[in-house]
Structure 1
Amino acid sequence: MGCHLTKGSKKKEEVVLPEPPEPASPDPRLPLTARQKFNIIKSWKGISRAIEPTGVYMFVKLFENNAELINLFTKFKQLRTRDEQAESLELAEHAKTVMSSIDEGIKSMDNVDYFFDVLHQIGASHHKIPGFKKEYFWKIEIPFLEAVRLTLDDRYTENMDNIYRITIKFLLETVVEGYEKAEKRESNENVKNNVNSTEGNCSKGTNGS
């Protein structure tokens, strides 16, 4: 009667969680590792939610450091001060268009062929702009990084800075490729047209003799 029953102490079972799966290996044409690609796509969601103000700040910084480039934009080339540019609806619309193109490029990294198609088309379209030079693409690199840093704030870590630098360089290289392809196509077409024109003149001369 005086005995006390004691509960045997049960050892708490440890739940071992499985290791998270490694991201799928990226296309070898991408300069990012699987983890870097995963991180930037995740980080970019913060930019997507503020795509217009990020783009406006990017262009304001672009013109701050390269004032002459604003003359390429007929819709807002008259904007000379930082405040005028920041408040311009025309500039905001263009900034949103550019950032949306970058957005599409980053989100399509799982389909690299589509990624190249999109950015090559962007490069080719700039070949039609009077006075535009392919070197101008690179002038957006630093303003882009500064704009992303401002938007992400403390989420823009040293690691993310490195990833964004690799990414924007790759994006711009691809856009420049598109510009150069359009340039080459135009050159080939001009040569072809000149040959056809010469042959036509020769034919007329022969018939007239």
Structure 2
Amino acid sequence: MGCELTKLASSELNNDPLNRPPPPSDPRSPLSAKQQYCMLASWKGIFRQIEKTGIILFIKLFEENAELLDLFEQFREKTHLDLSTSAELAEHATKVMHTLDEGIKSTGNIDAFFAYVRHVGATHHQVPGFKAENFWKIEQPFLEAAKTTLGDRYTPNIENIYKITIRFILENLVIGYEESTAKQNGNQSQS
């Protein structure tokens, strides 16, 4: 009888998705399955403070790249203090953070990740004066905002995983933007 209970318990344990090892990662992903798991677990801490983290990201972005303020009419004349309390900045920052959230959460399904992130990259053609290289300017402010939000949970391992993840997202935003540029140029030359 004891053996049957042990078998039953071990079979239930194996069917419990929380106790199973993570599935192997897609070779197109720069993250191992373990890194992906750590990223998603850590990201929960940021997601709980998504608006605050987004505001930190954008304030750091504008401090380091003042010329980007020209892309945002509503923020051009605002001081640092105005920006930190701006409802418009909070709204935009939260929207960007939700986009990053969607990208991060879809790293387990690379086809969905590519489709989503590249589509978002392509939509930036709607922003007058936007250039693909602007995406890369988010990397350091994102990492600093994550570090600020996570505090001592931002270990060297988590920092490395965040660097890999944000670079993967930014790289694919750029690809989406550039593919869209190529399509637009192709459509214009056919007219």
TM-score by length of 2: 0.88
Partner of 1:57: 56
Partner of 1:34: 33
Cα offset, 1:82, TM superposition: 1.4
Distance 1:176 1:25 in 2: 27
Distance 2:170 2:125 in 1: 14
Secondary structure of the 2:166 match is helix
Cα deviation, 1:134-188, whole Å, max 9, x if unaligned, reads 0111001000000000000010000000000000000000000000011001000
Partner of 1:45: 44
Cα deviation, 1:8-30, whole Å, max 9, x if unaligned, reads xxxxxxxxx99964321011110
Partner of 2:101: 103
Distance 2:173 2:159 in 1: 21
Cα offset, 1:99, TM superposition: 0.3
Partner of 1:201: none
Distance 2:120 2:73 in 1: 18
Distance 1:77 1:111 in 2: 38
Distance 2:65 2:49 in 1: 24
Cα offset, 1:64, TM superposition: 0.4
Distance 2:86 2:108 in 1: 35
Cα deviation, 1:51-99, whole Å, max 9, x if unaligned, reads 00000000000000111111101222221x2111101000110000000
Partner of 2:162: 164
Distance 1:123 1:133 in 2: 11
Partner of 1:127: 125
Partner of 1:180: 178
Greater helix fraction, Structure 1 or Structure 2: 2
Partner of 2:115: 117
Q: Which amino acid aligns with 2:144?
A: E
Secondary structure of the 1:127 match is helix
Partner of 1:203: none
Q: Where does the alignment leave 5 or more consecutive residues of structure 2 unmatched?
A: 1-9
TM-score by length of 1: 0.81
Secondary structure of the 1:37 match is helix
Secondary structure of the 1:108 match is helix
Q: Which amino acid aligns with 1:45?
A: K
Partner of 1:138: 136
Secondary structure of the 1:58 match is helix
Flag the structure with more relative contact order, 1 or 2, with Cα contacts below 8 A and sequence separation at least 6. 2
Partner of 2:4: none
Distance 1:75 1:114 in 2: 33
Distance 1:86 1:112 in 2: 35
Q: Which has the larger radius of gyration?
A: 1
Q: Which amino acid aligns with 1:24?
A: P
Question: Does the Cα contact within 8 Å between 2:55 and 2:90 map onto a contact in 1?
Answer: yes
Secondary structure of the 1:109 match is helix
Q: Which amino acid aligns with 2:182?
A: K
Distance 1:88 1:60 in 2: 11
Secondary structure of the 2:126 match is coil
